[in-house]
Every structure is written in C-alpha cells, then in structure tokens.
Amino acid sequence: MATLYSTTCRSISYSLTPSSSSLSINGQNHQRLNFSSCIAKRVLPAKVSFHSRRNFHLNVVLMQDGAVATPVTPVENETPFKKLKDGLLSSVPSTKEIKEAATFDVNKDESTVSITVVGASGDLAKKKIFPALFALYYEGCLPEHFTIFGYARSKMTDAELRNMVSKTLTCRIDKRENCDEKMDQFLKRCFYHSGQYGSQQNFAELDKKLKEHEGARVSNRLFYLSIPPNIFIDAVKCASSSASSGIGWTRVIVEKPFGRDSDSSAALTKALKQYLDEDQIFRIDHYLGKELVENLSVLRFSNLIFEPLWSRQYIRNVQLIFSEDFGTEGRGGYFDNYGIIRDIMQNHLLQILALFAMETPVSLDAEDIRNEKVKVLRSMRPLQLDDVVVGQYKSHTKGGVTYPAYTDDNTVPKGSLTPTFAAAALFIDNARWDGVPFLMKAGKALHNKSAEIRVQFRHVPGNLYNRNFGTDLDRATNELVIRVQPDEAIYLKINNKVPGLGMRLDRSNLHLHYAAR
C-alpha cells in the first residue's frame, strides 16, 4: 500500500498489488495495469547527424531504441536525409544507406568526427549514450576517423572511463560475432577529460586534446549534453567559445526536459541561440526512437483495419503507461527539480499521445508530422487538478530486502514533496477524440519496468453473448496493447469461443511478439 497525495496534497489511498492496480480518476475506474515480471531489456538511443563541408547532411538512425534529434527549423540545402521523419519507421534510411552515405560524406573528405559526451560520469551516459555509440560503431556506421571524449567534473583516467563504459556495452541481440574484439577497438577510441561545465579554461584544454586526435583533418564536433538542464547554458557557452570546431561543423544535442514550463523553455532556447544557430541544436526525445513507438504510425496508417476504428466512435479510452522498478538512485539532484510529470509525461508520453492521436499527415516529412502533432496539442483541454493524482514512493520491505524511500536518497532534499508518481486524465477536444480520456500514468519505484499503450474499445452494443460472460462487461471489451518495453509486442484481446461442445467464451490474444520474429 502506497500513500499518495493529490496536487493539493490531500491524502488518498492507493492500493497496489503485484498483479494489478486500480486507480480511480473522476470517480471511474479507468486504469487497469497488468504488471508482469519480465526482465527489462536494456535499450539504446542514438541519432547522430553528420554534416560535411559540402553541406551534405546525414541523419543516422540505427538503434532499436534510437532517439530522434531534431533541429526545429529546416536547414538549407536539404538532402533526403536531412528531413527527419519524426519517428516513422518507413522514413528511416536503412543501415546500408547510412553506411553508404557515411562513407560518401565523411571518409571521402578525410574529415573526422569528435563526439564529446558532456556529463560522461552520469546515468544517461552510462546507460544509453556509450552503448548507443558502440552499437553505431558495431554496425559500421561511425566514420573511419572518429574520437569519443567523456567530459565531466569527476576525476577519471582514460582507463577508468573505458572500464566504466565497458560494463554497459552489449552487442545487439542477434549479432555477437567479433563482439569482444569490436568492443576493444571501440574503447581504444574513447578518452576522458575532467573539467567544470562553466570553465572556459577546461574546455580549452579539451579543445587541445581534441585537436591532437583530429590532426590536420577537417574536424566536425558533436557535444552531447548529458547533464542536468540547469547547466546546459554554461556548458554550451564554454563549448562554443573554447572548443568549437575551426573548420568543420559544431553541433549540440540537448536532452529533455527543455525547461520547466513555457517561459523557461523559451528562455533556454534564447540562451542557446546566443551561442548556437538553430540548425546546430538537436533536441532529443529518445522514446520516439523506440521500435514500437516508431511502429505506431505504421500500424495506424498502413493497415486498413485499424484506421476506421481510431476514434471516439469505437475507442473508450487510451492509456499511456510508464513504470520503473527502481527509484532515483542518486539522480535526485536532477530529478527533484523536475518530478515525474516533467521527467516523463510532458515529453515521452505526450509525444506518444500526439503520434497516436494525430490526423494523417500530408507526408512523412518531419514538418508535416510536426504540424499534425501541434494540432493535437492545441486541441487539448488544459489539465484540471481534479484529473491528476500524484504520489511519492515510500520505503518498503519485500523478500527480506528493504528498499529506500525517495527521500532516503542522499541526493534528494529532506522533506521533498516532488512527485515520483502521477496519473492524469487528458482530453482532446476535437471531432475525433471528443470525450475520450487519454490516461497517462508514470511512476518510479513501482513493481516492474514497462511502457505500454493500451487502447480499450467500447462494449459491443446489445452483445448477444453477454450472458456467457455474466455481467462483467469489462471482460468483453476488446483491447489493443502496444507493449513498448520490455519484450516488445502488439496484441489484440478478442472474445473467442472455447473450442468444443457448447458455447463458452474466453479472451484470446492475437499476438505479434517481437522476440518470436
């Protein structure tokens, strides 16, 4: 049993059992969660964009859990690769295309790419960025001449960085050939420089080291900001003044959250633009690169059976669910300033919602998709406090192991009221979705790690078979489940006759299980 408080800090009770949980929003039981005990499969983000002196752009999207890094305004001299397709699978260049383009773009020019992971000692760098860079390397999609630098305040040698990174590298599931050898080669290309994020001198030292590796080649530089947002500007200022490339491009990948609210987001953009042009800034949301999120639009727009059902006429509610089975674990310095709504809902879940609910875009071009997403967002009703529940995880003991409360984390201020759990009912006031609740639920330190989209369809009116189910109408509702992670799957719950004599019905799953493909 966890105690939650609402946004006005009223105490309410929320019961959570290992197999399911039920949450009441607006007096209705909208939420049904099935927590399975699947083991989380680590996933990798990456979308790196290279740009040569000839202004040839290459957006490399390779990872099963890749991120979509998008400059907001289009860049001149666009090639087909430049147009990011905002998470649509069919729009992403194949590995072969990427390799060919990488060879054409970078190697022919004998240019080099230096990737600096700013905040290399942190969670994101360890869990996602280095593994993603290795996966790019493994697939042969990094240019011949590249160097990776970790940059953070922590004191570390190159060898210590390599040791840290090596613990998180994995080979992609189906390709293990030469993996150890490739890892060794990759690690040899990784270096570390310790420095403060606001120190011009420390970035100038980094610049010197980068130059040693780049030699006389055209040097393109990418800075990946894997740091808490409050130090983005310091780092960008120093990187652009003291460590940007003299004769190649310099680009910066910025992680979410892009501010705490509309004003701070605008202020962040304004501040970034003091040092960078818009086409140097790549904002990233790694959920858009997850396989099943990419597949969402394919599922909708290339299967005639789904699109006609995709509206208030047939859909009762849509649930967007994120849960993690671990807490902040030392990330409190960042997390406590943001909370679960800004950490997960406002970006990852909202992007999925927009992709789910948008009208058919004119084309798969990024601008066209963005336009449709914007329409969805503009049609959304401002969230009412009564439609939100927030909570914070407490300490509990399970199987003899005691798990800490959020406020037990040393990096979390004592007495913090920052929510680590939130559930909200959102509404899109347009012709397609009027009255359909989009239920978001996100939490840390819950029973399992998973991310799902659940689409619950309406009851069959006057269902002939009602009595075969008794009065439990929920049991008879069709449900489409898109399991983003772990163990990616799409399944449709249907009612079915139990084979044999008589007329007994049960629920069956029409299943697309990725692991079995």
Ligand X SMILES: NC(=O)C1=CN([C@@H]2O[C@H](COP(=O)(O)OP(=O)(O)OC[C@H]3O[C@@H](n4cnc5c(N)ncnc54)[C@H](OP(=O)(O)O)[C@@H]3O)[C@@H](O)[C@H]2O)C=CC1
Which residues here bind ligand X, judged by CB under 6 A?
119, 121-125, 127, 152-154, 197, 226-229, 231, 255-257, 286, 331, 333-334
Residue 295 binds what, of ligand X, ligand LXAUTJHC, none (CB under 5 to 8 Å, by partner type)? none
Say if residues 240 and 250 touch (Cβ distance below 8 Å). yes
CB of 129 to ligand X, least distance (A): 9
Task: Give just the sign of the alpha carbon dihedral 409, 413, 417, 420.
Answer: negative
CB of 334 to ligand X, least distance (A): 4
Q: What is the full DSSP assignment across 146-186?
A: EEEEEEESS---HHHHHHHHHTT----TT--TTHHHHHHHH
Cα angle 387, 256, 46 (rounded to 5 degrees) comes to: 125
Is the Cβ of residue 141 or residue 321 nearer to ligand LXAUTJHC in the bound state? 321
Residue 436 binds what, of ligand LXAUTJHC, ligand X, none (CB under 5 to 8 Å, by partner type)? none
What angle do helix axes 350-357 and 366-378 make, rounded to 10 degrees?
100
Give the contact letters, 348-387, x = binds to ligand LXAUTJHC (CB under 6 A), - = no. Answer: ----------------------------------------
Is the Cβ of residue 346 or residue 478 nearer to ligand LXAUTJHC in the bound state? 346
Binding residues among 20-59 for ligand LXAUTJHC as defined by CB under 6 A: 43
Is the Cβ of residue 57 or residue 290 nearer to ligand LXAUTJHC in the bound state? 290
Fill in the DSSP letter of residue 428.
B
Binding residues among 392-451 for ligand LXAUTJHC as defined by CB under 6 A: 451
Cα angle 84, 90, 94 (rounded to 5 degrees) comes to: 80
Say if residues 156 and 194 touch (Cβ distance below 8 Å). yes
Residue 226 binds what, of ligand LXAUTJHC, ligand X, none (CB under 5 to 8 Å, by partner type)? ligand X
Q: How far is the CA of 517 from the CAs of 174, 222, 422, 491, in angstroms?
A: 12, 36, 35, 14
> Which residues, including other chains, have CB under 8 Å from residue 11's CB and lie 6 or more apart?
3, 4, 5
Task: Write down the number of H helices and E strands in the chain.
Answer: 14, 23
Is the Cβ of residue 410 or residue 471 nearer to ligand LXAUTJHC in the bound state? 410
CB of 212 to ligand X, least distance (A): 23
Say if residues 326 and 448 touch (Cβ distance below 8 Å). no
Q: How far apart are CA 416 and CA 5, in angstroms?
A: 13
Binding residues among 313-352 for ligand LXAUTJHC as defined by CB under 6 A: 324, 343
CB of 331 to ligand X, least distance (A): 4
Q: Which residue is nearest to ligand X (CB)?
A: 122
CB of 194 to ligand X, least distance (A): 8
Binding residues among 224-253 for ligand LXAUTJHC as defined by CB under 6 A: none
Is the Cβ of residue 143 or residue 195 nearer to ligand X in the bound state? 195
Catalytic residue among 145, 286, 348, 447: 348
Q: How far apart are CA 39 and CA 467, in angstroms?
A: 38
Residue 85 binds what, of ligand X, ligand LXAUTJHC, none (CB under 5 to 8 Å, by partner type)? none
Is the Cβ of residue 324 or residue 409 nearer to ligand LXAUTJHC in the bound state? 324
Say if residues 352 and 287 touch (Cβ distance below 8 Å). yes
CB of 267 to ligand LXAUTJHC, least distance (A): 21
Residue 237 binds what, of ligand X, ligand LXAUTJHC, none (CB under 5 to 8 Å, by partner type)? none
348 is catalytic: yes
Say if residues 250 and 275 touch (Cβ distance below 8 Å). no
Q: How far apart are CA 229 and CA 328, in angstroms?
A: 17
- Residue 236: closest CA among 275, 287, 193: 275
Q: What share of the chain is helix, strand, coil (3-state, %, to 5)?
A: 30, 25, 40
Is the Cβ of residue 64 or residue 219 nearer to ligand LXAUTJHC in the bound state? 64
CB of 231 to ligand X, least distance (A): 5
Give the residue numbers annotated as catalytic, written as ranges.
348
Q: Which residues bind ligand LXAUTJHC (CB under 6 A)?
A: 43, 286, 324, 343, 451
